Chain A
């Protein structure tokens, strides 16, 4: 617990993240490169879907990260709200646009994939709709940060909204089980093992890890700039008080 407290200090986090950043950059580039090569050139086309199955290598990592980033946002918001920790709200604030971007990527790639396989760009089934709601929740969360002038108030208000919106996460996860959807059910994380052939699964895992490393890189850069921004604000206040 003490170690966690040390980590929660923005300055400490900044120095630690400086060390992580080059590695996560390297991992993101190499894993995504490897995953894309395996997925686009080595893996065979699907016997039913043909070449369009290759969209999976972008769609699935983006879609899982869209939910994962919201979960990160909700957890760090809760931490910042309960323990009044500034770092938690920095992380949540930094994560929101990234999550929104992943969500829109998942929706667009899903539409591109849906056209040839389902015959429609969009359908109002539970999975698609709940992911669309996720996108709106991200937008609302970003909106809260922008509309409050007092950043402390904004942090708390945004934390509440992030926590309330977290109720959507289980709905997204289980939407394919609860409703009869066109979107297929879970096919990777299952009790009886993945139902995807390993030729497709292995590049997918590489891509997924690559996306995670990319997420860590962008998150670190955004949190660092947020910490720096707060420092600049503090310095500006100090200068104006001295005058």
Chain B
């Protein structure tokens, strides 16, 4: 079982490495949307450092929503999803493997790059540290929740708008706790409760969202 799990991840790694483009586009989009904010609200450092956490987080939400609609698309179209559905590995495991490999190829990059965005937005060093920690805890949750919407819309031609409508409301708790953890750390208050809540959201979504996504994929394969 675990071998198949690993081989799915390996395959996705190879695919994303050889295509390259899409993952890079997500990073560029993330970068671009962050750099639009200083142009929109004005480049005062004081203001930017105050709203910086929110900017990075909202951009992370948007870039994950925009890219996620393709996560099952290729597997659905070339029929490998049906093969996996017939194989010994449960669809839930497949979803988990897809989410993990997707996070390793995109989410992790966002996490690694987030200190740079913190610097650009002139956040304090403590704020940058907590920005990175919350992104590390939060981006997997975003992807896992996003698989639910992606699985439902996999057979639809114009599904991406529907996905954002379905998924963005569910992202709000992650956004709230992510940003408030950073705010707490900047204001020298313990950010532990928010980080614990982010961690619990991650645990919840690891358990529950593969079940919902697998059900969604099965609907579309009938």
* A residues lining the B interface (CB < 8 Å): 129, 133, 136-137, 139-140, 143-144, 147-148, 153, 156-157, 160-161, 163-165, 167-168, 171
Contact = CB atoms under 8 A, between A and B. Distances in A.
B170 A165 contact: yes
A1 to B, nearest CB: 25
Contact of B216 (A136, A157, A168, A171): A157
A156 B166 contact: no
A152 B156 CA distance: 14
Interface in B160-217: 162, 165-166, 168-170, 172-173, 212, 215-216
B169 A144 contact: no
A147 B215 contact: no
Contact of B159 (A136, A137, A147, A161): A147
B65 interface: no
Kindly state the interface size class of chain B when it binds its partner.
20 to 34
A148 B166 contact: no
Contacts of A153: 155, 219-220, 222
A164 B212 CA distance: 8
Contacts of B156: 147-148
B95 interface: no
15 contacts: A133-B169, A140-B162, A140-B166, A143-B162, A144-B162, A144-B166, A153-B220, A153-B222, A156-B219, A157-B152, A157-B219, A160-B152, A160-B215, A160-B216, A164-B148
Contact of B162 (A133, A137, A147, A163): A147
A139 B166 CA distance: 8
A164 B204 CA distance: 12
Contacts of A147: 153, 156, 158-159, 162
